[in-house]
Amino acid sequence: MTSPISTNRHGDILIVTSNNPPVNALGAAVRQGLVAAIKEAEGDDAIKAVVITCAGQTYFAGADITEFGKPPVMPWLPEVVDRIESCSKPVVAAVHGTALGGGLEIALGCHYRVALPTAKFGVPEVKLGLLPGAGGTQRLPRVAGVPKALEMVTSGGMIGAKEAAALGLVDRLIEGDLVEHAVAYAEEVRAIRPLPKSSERDDKLAEARANPAIFDDFRKANARKMKGFEAPELNIQAVEAAVAKPYAEGVLDERRLFMQLMSGSQARAQQYFFFAERKAAKIDNIPDDTRPRDIKRVGVIGAGTMGGGISMNFLSAGIPVTIVEMAQDALDRGTGTVRKNYEATAAKGRMTPEQVEQAMGALNPTLDFNALADCDLIIEAVFETMEIKQEIFGKLDKIAKPGAILASNTSYLNIDEIAAATSRPQDVVGLHFFSPANIMKLLEVVRGANTAPDVLVTAMQLAKRIKKVAVVAGVCHGFIGNRMLMPRQVEATKLLLEGATPDQIDRVHVEFGMPMGPFQMADLAGVDIGWHRDPTRIENIRDALAAEGRWGQKKNAGFYDYDEKRRPSPSARVQEIIDEFRAKEGVEKRDISDQEIVERTLYTMVNEGAKILEEGMAQRASDIDVVWIYGYGWPVYRGGPMHWADGEGLDKIVAGLRNQEARMGSDFSFSQLLLDKAASGGKFTR
């Protein structure tokens, strides 16, 4: 097998090139090749300096994640980085694309770093439940400073080359041919001794030592973001060690903390999720050579919250949008909101005023439905009523150009029935965005019975262009995400009658790691959503709340009372309503344990997920996890409901559901797939 590492000489400079597509991950062969290349440079007196560069789209994107959990193959990455740093000749990293994780650690091991202005740098290990374990937690603070290192190791975010240069992480920005200039740079520095080694620097650590509160201040400022996660805290501890101890000791702390994380369940879940997210883009049963359709202009019907948010995704990606409304005031309101959102982003410094104008300039607001005729994709985002949707699709059928994709943003309705209102069901697809649509990363792509393969391929590709993560769902009520929400909601509401409080149920969910519980979510979304609007017709607790105008946060009253700062507190009135209903329905009040809440509101979701899988409404269990993590904030460190269930043990899930079966009554039935897997010791995701 040929090595992914090749060397060639340019005068007295050895150019070491990695060619390990797609992202130059630092697998065993790359590591071995790098060590051999350094040996080659050391062994040849004619070589005066080394340049390490990568072919393809990017510099090393980090350790090869597919090797995690397998028997280690030597040399391991920390050794490779140390070997580069201890080379007796100067080594220059020539960076393009993204230098991530172990890739940045390699660059930090080099004595110098040059980069294209488009290059990016980051240590995303924390997103995999890890820390930069090849000396990164020790070298990065020495080179970039402790505050920046803390931010980078705990967020996993990237910084651009210009910022990296300002920090001293990059020695020179290169305009033009990277390798040619890197070689010239190597010529410039070839005679400088002693060689600058990141591990030996102390100036920036001394700055941090002068401010001993830096770590606890950072912990306090970021407590909310880091809640529930193990890796950020251990990253902080490793940087603390860099400041408090000599390099040789700090690196031992780093190793210990790395191993601690690597053997934990959070790292397993987060690494599983890395691949789950990428697998979601792959569509089963589609010919490999299916070409996507060309999308140059998008039409959006409805300028409400959803329509406006959906439009922003395309505008931000540079795709012009025609947005259609029925009345001028609604159109103006919608366009105004889009502008306001962009201006808020600009005020935070995340967009320039020119970019705001550019995006707004690509928006064509109109009352003329016929203006959609030149759109390549038209997304309907109006009321959730089948008649209205069918009427719109009937109209679209007459005006949309041949080959245009006709999409509905419905959250529940049957795409096939909507498609039946057209003469081209092959062009119809569901594109279910999540609110707020300009922010939430999830997109459910609903595959109708007749949806053409190239329509699906286009949807998946477009999702990537607008920075969404798309998951294919089949046609069923609520698709993947909302369908699983239903048993949770039904059981949560019944638990109120049986004796639990909204506060208790929400607390169990928040302690589990969800951003909010079912009743906090109802208050945020609006208790009146889906309400029949007849205050005299009170059939359940939700009807009673809605009839009294307790519509949630927007009315300062819902399942909770809210003060002027929208802080919730348990509501005596809601408790009265619950008590009245309990009496009316003859339900006996009892103490509800937290475990029962888990079994009836989380285990039931797993059961519904299993039904979705067995009916073929999701392509794979990991897709369900992607939906719940990106659509509903399921804690990524638990890997999504199906991965979590596997970790709990499916036999335990089944036993828990059996405990509750009688109480759940006809609202519940077992998924055969869940029963079978539990009986055979199987798993959903492994």
Q: Rule CB under 6 A: which residues touch ligand 3H9?
A: 22-23, 25, 58, 61-66, 77-78, 98, 100-102, 105, 124-125, 128, 130, 132-134, 136, 278
The nearest distance, CB 256 to ligand 3H9, in angstroms, is: 13
Residue 159 pairs in a beta bridge with 121
Residue nearer to ligand 3H9 on the CB measure, 260 or 364: 260
Q: Is 105 a catalytic residue?
A: yes
Choose between 23 and 321: whose C-beta lies nearer to ligand 3H9. Answer: 23
Task: Give CA torsion, residues 519, 522, 523, 529, to 10 deg.
Answer: -150
Q: Which is nearer to ligand 3H9, 258 or 581 (CB)?
A: 258
Beta bridge partners of 430: 408, 446
DSSP 301: E
- Residue closer to ligand 3H9 by CB (options 77, 295) is 77
From the CB of 350, what's the least distance to ligand 3H9, in Å?
20
At residue 300, what are phi and psi to the nearest 5 degrees? -130, 130
Nearest to 338 by CA among 361, 370, 369, 372: 361
7-10-13 Cα angle (round to 5): 75
- 175 given a catalytic annotation: no
Q: Which residues contact 650 (CB under 8 A, 6 or more apart)?
A: 674, 677, 678, 682, 683, 684
Give Cα 415 distance to the centre of its chain: 26
* φ/ψ of residue 248, rounded to 5: -60, -30
Asked if residues 427 and 420 have their Cβ atoms less than 8 Å apart, the reply is: no
- Report yes or no: 268 and 276 within 8 Å, Cβ to Cβ: no
Q: What are φ and ψ of residue 74, in 5° steps?
A: -80, 155
Q: How far apart are CA 676 and CA 682, in angstroms?
A: 8
Write down the least CB distance from residue 127 to ligand 3H9, Å. Answer: 6
Closest CA to 9 of 55, 62, 58, 45: 45
Least distance CB 58 / ligand 3H9 (angstroms): 6
d(CA 342, CA 363): 13
By beta-carbon proximity to ligand 3H9, the closer residue of 39 and 278 is: 278
Please choose, from the candidates 482, 500, 504, 362, the residue with its C-alpha nearest in 3D space to the C-alpha of residue 430: 482
Q: Which of 85, 125, 240, 380 is catalytic?
A: 125
Nearer to ligand 3H9, 278 or 465 (CB): 278
Contact by Cβ (8 Å): 9, 47: yes
CA distance 588 to 261: 46
CA distances from 224 to 218, 261, 350, 505, 609 (A): 11, 20, 22, 21, 29
Pick the catalytic residue: 42, 67, 79, 105?
Answer: 105
Least distance between ligand 3H9 and beta carbon 462 (Å): 15
* CB of 443 or CB of 602, closer to ligand 3H9: 443
Closer to ligand 3H9 by CB, 102 or 558: give it.
102
Amino acid at 631: G
User: So which residues are the catalytic ones?
Assistant: 105, 125
